[in-house]
A and B are shown apart, each in its own frame.
Chain A
Amino acid sequence: MTPPQNHAPKAHRAEPRIGFYVCHCGSNIADTVDCAEIARYAASLPGVILARDYKYMCSDPGQELIQQDIREYQLDRIVVASCSPLLHEHTFRAALARAGLNPFYLQMVNIREHVSWVHKNREAATAKARDLARAAIQRVRHHQALQPIRVPIRAEALVLGGGIAGIHAALLLAEAGKRVILVERQPSIGGHMAQLDKTFPTLDCAACILTPKMSAVRAHPNITLWTYSEVIKVEGYVGNFTVTVRRKPRYINEALCVGCKQCVDACVFKDGKFPDEFNAGLSHRKPIYLPFPQATPQVVVIDPDRCLNLKTGKCKKTCVEACDRNAIVFDQQPEVHEVKVGTIIVATGYDLFDPTRLPQYGYGRYPNVFTTLEAERLVNSSGPTAGKVRLRDGRVPRSVGIILCVGSRDHRTHPWCSRTCCMHSMKLALLIREHAGAEVTIFHMDIRSAGKGYEEFYDRCLREGIQFIRGRVAEVTDWAMTAKEEGHLVVRVEDTLAGFVRRIPLDMIVLAVGMEPQRDARELRRILNISCSNEGWFLERHPKLGPVITFTDGIFLAGCCQGPKDIPDTVAQAGAAAAEALALMDRGYIEQEPNTAYIDPDHCCGCKSCLPLCPYSAIQLDETQGRAFINEALCKGCGACVAACPSGSIQQHLFEDEQVFAEIDGVLSYA
């Protein structure tokens, strides 16, 4: 994999022929630095054949100037004093290459960000620019010809998380002919969207649009679906990740089970006894269950914490008898698989804010305080109440209040806006009214309805008689102060539009709990070696220009794991992440900066000091030779080992000791 050129013995160095260019950057640099003087000075230094100043070095004529001079004066080293190399190193390297010179014979001097933009005194700024130019000129003579490192990219992708984001990305990649492994932690894919009833603003049924996509995932020949599985280790680098996936035992042979549920009916538990996660705990399931009717795959699962046989070994195992396909396997063990993929799309979604953190709203204390997710299940015709909105004691609520921003836009909990609660609360308001005939009041700080058709939806709610009260609710209490409040929950709120504090008795309260990062986001971040914000949302490389790429090449983000968003934005982002991954995989390779470290085997003493230091595990010991060596494709050029090798046997391309010392000498010597 190592291009041999990068390790060729250092060619005997003839006196270099250096070309020096200083850029005015319009007036950005020239206003503060005397560019003509810098060029004059540079021309007087040893090795410099010519020095020029020019208005815009990065412009086409500016680059052309360099190319012409290289040809005409046989220049073999180029120094450009201009802006940050972050901006234009690539530009000038390309110019060198066009003129037939190895692009790494370039050195840049940043006299804009480091000089003209931070200094006022022209004389002092010019003197500083002179010192920096001298350093670069001394350094560049030690530059080596290098080749960028080409790393091949595997054409397989791993999608982590099977919510709508992961499903959409996986299908796109599979359709484009890439092999996809979709890893979902729960027994079924679908994520939060599967739990929703209708979706705003069009009120189309969530299951109707999601289920076909779930089946398509299951059926697609290019998709391997691993539910009930988690990623426990990621090694390698862009194009060549090795991912270790742990598949939890569901005690069912997935290949044999057809989801007929004979076993569920036969279970010794006659009725469901344990809170059903899919219905947000509003109904009960058995130890053996199918998560929900459209679950994909259609394979039951046994809950080891509930199953009598798995817990105590004592059970009649009526389920086993009932299964005529012999699909129940009580001694199933966790499986660990290692897969190799080129790219990874992270689509692990969000968690919901735990409303017991705000005791003033009474969740968990008053039975008739619900969350919006519970409300979604209540209005759903395949939900625990078959779509009838009922209080916990079975009564039909006459009046319902929905409290917004529970755990959002609140400095005591989460400062961010969860972005979908205004909209899905209005959706639920309409649905609850439709299903229960109840009067619905929404308590809000602002209604945020930015989105196509969203403001119109708000309008519709206003027109159709949903009540809106503006104010952050102070508390929900069952302490009645008037006869009218007796037997009700009372919302105490400062109505900021009316300008006084109100007490509003209601039968049912729904808390619009906000989104928060998955509880294990930080752990996962470490496994994937990506960054997350302070709050725990995975961090995109650039909020505007790189919204789905991460700081780790080859790993992309889709959906709510990056921050709260609704389904349209989630799907758009999933499409973008798939496109980014495809672009990479279709090109087949990436080029990396050859700033890698290397060990001279004749010099290494095999002391192993460097081995534990590499954050990318790029260094290995060749046991037979007793020498360390670096896998160039893994090395990210951080330099940790270079500094630490006690015998100085590790060097780094582009940062060779002699280059760095020449630069230091240059900047410190007196002109």
Chain B
Amino acid sequence: MPMPKPKLAIYWCASCGGCEEAVVDLAEEIVELLQSVDLVFWPCATDLKRADLEHLPDQAIFVSLINGAIRTTEQEEMAHLLRQKSRFLIAYGACAHLGGIPGLANQFSREEILRYYFETGPSTVNPEKAQPQPSYTCGHHTLTLPDLHYKVRALDQVVSVDYYIPGCPPTPTLTRNALKALLAENPPPPGSVLAPDVALCDQCPRKATKPLQLSFTRFQRPHLAPIDPQQCLLAQGFLCLGPATRAGCEALCPRGNMPCSGCFGPTSRVRDPGAKILSSLCANLAPKTAEEIDAVLDTIPDPIGTFYRYSLPRSLLRGKVNTSPTNHAS
């Protein structure tokens, strides 16, 4: 009797859909993949439903890839359900790994966000100030919507996670290697991020041109200044997060003439990626007086969005504690 094929599930939470694309980006290999596994759940691409999942015995799924952060009650429920049904649960992509771009919402309270999008935002026309409600009764019918949590969380802040595949989105190579590693005889130690544990400079073709002294006098923004395609981006004053970011992408952005924005997250040794890169950059500022230093730092318009772009929920900061009376932390 042939060995039963390992069961695979793919699910998305608070994400942009790019991670689903990344799976599809396996290209011809996706066919091979689909032949070697038994796809039991992938709402984005197949017509399988939650009930199908619930009917499976516990731990029946060999591996579940969950992408996206956890913002809603539904996402949280699905994460628990998949955890229960899977042997390996993988946080797939930056949002599941660290909170990702959706995690930047933690700078604002849930109420502020709802008010902005349904009332005050410049493109909003909503004279009744209607806001989505968790349940709505219309005649005999009650409609429900998942509720929003107060904060965005990374997947492992909700359920226990076996492995992480980093990236926004993870590259096909990384995905392929990760799946191979899991199917191999000796899977990697639980809790690992399935990417090299060195910083990106290691893979960067510009590394040799990084000077000893950076001596920043200002920071450049990539859309406002021409970028030399050979030279270290930091040497040109662009905020490249390569030195603080885990390698594994083969320096796709620097090769594409863009600074690294840090989507692979920090190495295993860093607890707060933003603080780390800041302390490194600040140690390399040219000026010595407080005013001159402020002037250099003022050339960074959005420090949180720059240094914690993918990692705010999973950092030591986690978010901003709003003082507005309408906000109650969850």
Contacts and interface: CB of A to CB of B under 8 A. Distances in A.
Interface of A: 602-609, 611-613, 626, 640, 643-649, 651, 657, 661
A626 B269 CA distance: 20
B210 A647 contact: no
A602 B207 CA distance: 17
B212 A611 contact: yes
Contacts of B201: 605-607
A602, A645, A649, A657: most-surrounded residue (chain B CB, <10 A): A645
B284 A605 contact: no
| Leading 4 A-B pairs by shortest Cβ distance | A648-B269, A646-B244, A647-B199, A605-B199
Contacts of A611: 212
A611 B284 CA distance: 11
A607 B283 contact: no
26 contacts: A602-B197, A603-B198, A603-B267, A603-B269, A605-B247, A606-B201, A606-B202, A607-B199, A607-B201, A607-B210, A607-B242, A607-B243, A609-B243, A611-B212, A612-B212, A612-B213, A613-B284, A644-B280, A644-B283, A646-B244, A647-B199, A647-B266, A648-B267, A648-B270, A648-B276, A657-B269
A605 B202 contact: yes
B323 interface: no
A605 B269 contact: no
A526 to B, nearest CB: 16
B200 interface: yes
Interface string B169-210: 000000000000000000000000000011111100001001
Given A612-B213, A612-B284, 15 more contacts: A603-B269, A605-B198, A607-B199, A607-B207, A608-B210, A609-B214, A609-B280, A611-B212, A613-B284, A643-B279, A644-B280, A647-B243, A648-B267, A648-B269, A651-B269
A604 B198 contact: yes
A647 B271 contact: no
B277 interface: yes
B211 to A, nearest CB: 8
B243 A605 contact: yes
Interface string B209-248: 0111110000000000000000000000000001110010
Given A605-B247, A609-B283, A609-B284, A647 B212 contact: no
Contacts of B266: 647-648
B282 to A, nearest CB: 8
Contacts of A626: 202, 207
A626 B247 CA distance: 15
A646 B276 contact: yes
Contacts of B198: 602-605, 647, 649
B276 A649 contact: no
Contacts of A605: 198-202, 243, 247
Q: Interface centre among B197, B266, B269, by most A CB within 10 Å?
A: B269
A612 B211 CA distance: 10
Contact of B212 (A608, A643, A646, A657): A608
Contacts of A645: 276, 280
Interface of B: 197-202, 207, 210-214, 242-244, 247, 266-267, 269-271, 276-277, 279-280, 283-284
A493 B243 CA distance: 72
Contacts of A607: 199, 201, 207, 210, 242-243
Nearest to B207: A606
Contact of B280 (A602, A606, A646, A657): A646
Pick the most buried of A607, A609, A647, A648: most chain B CB atoms within 10 A of its CB.
A647
A604 to B, nearest CB: 7
Contacts of A609: 214, 243, 280, 283-284
A603 to B, nearest CB: 6
A646 B307 CA distance: 12
A657 B271 contact: yes
A186 B214 CA distance: 41
B279 A644 contact: yes
A605 B266 CA distance: 13
Nearest to A641: B283
Contacts of B207: 606-607, 626
Given A605-B243, A606-B201, A647 B284 contact: no
B197 A603 contact: yes
A640 B282 CA distance: 12
B280 A661 contact: no
B102 to A, nearest CB: 25
Nearest to A648: B269
B233 to A, nearest CB: 12
A623 to B, nearest CB: 10
Contacts of A608: 210-212
Contacts of B279: 643-644
B199 A613 contact: no
Contacts of A657: 269, 271
A648 B247 CA distance: 14
A645 B211 CA distance: 15
Nearest to A664: B316
A613 B283 contact: yes
Nearest to A647: B199
A643 B277 CA distance: 10
Nearest to A611: B212
Nearest to A604: B198
A649 B277 contact: no
A333 to B, nearest CB: 32
A611 B214 CA distance: 11
A138 to B, nearest CB: 16
Contacts of B270: 647-648
A665 B50 CA distance: 40
A640 B242 CA distance: 20
Contacts of B199: 605, 607, 646-647, 649
A277 to B, nearest CB: 39
Nearest to B215: A612
Nearest to B277: A646
Contacts of A661: 271
Contacts of A612: 212-213, 284
A603 B247 CA distance: 11
| From A613, A626, A646, A651, residue with most partner B Cβ within 10 Å | A646
Nearest to A649: B269
A604 B200 CA distance: 10
A359 B269 CA distance: 66
A373 B77 CA distance: 92
Contacts of A606: 201-202, 207
B18 to A, nearest CB: 25
A612 B213 CA distance: 6
B182 to A, nearest CB: 23
Contacts of A643: 279, 283
A607 B267 CA distance: 14
B206 to A, nearest CB: 11
Contacts of A640: 283
Nearest to B208: A626
A669 B303 CA distance: 29
Contacts of B200: 605
A297 to B, nearest CB: 43
B212 A649 contact: no
A648 B271 CA distance: 9
A647 B269 contact: yes
A612 B215 CA distance: 10
Nearest to B280: A646
Residue of A608, A609, A626, A649 contacting most chain B CB atoms (<10 Å): A609
A609 to B, nearest CB: 5
A649 B213 CA distance: 19
A9 to B, nearest CB: 15
A602 B280 CA distance: 20
Contacts of B247: 605
A665 to B, nearest CB: 11
A649 B197 CA distance: 10
A640 B277 CA distance: 14
B268 to A, nearest CB: 8
A657 B210 CA distance: 28
> Which of A611, A649, A651 is the most central at the interface, judged by chain B CB atoms within 10 Å of its CB?
A649
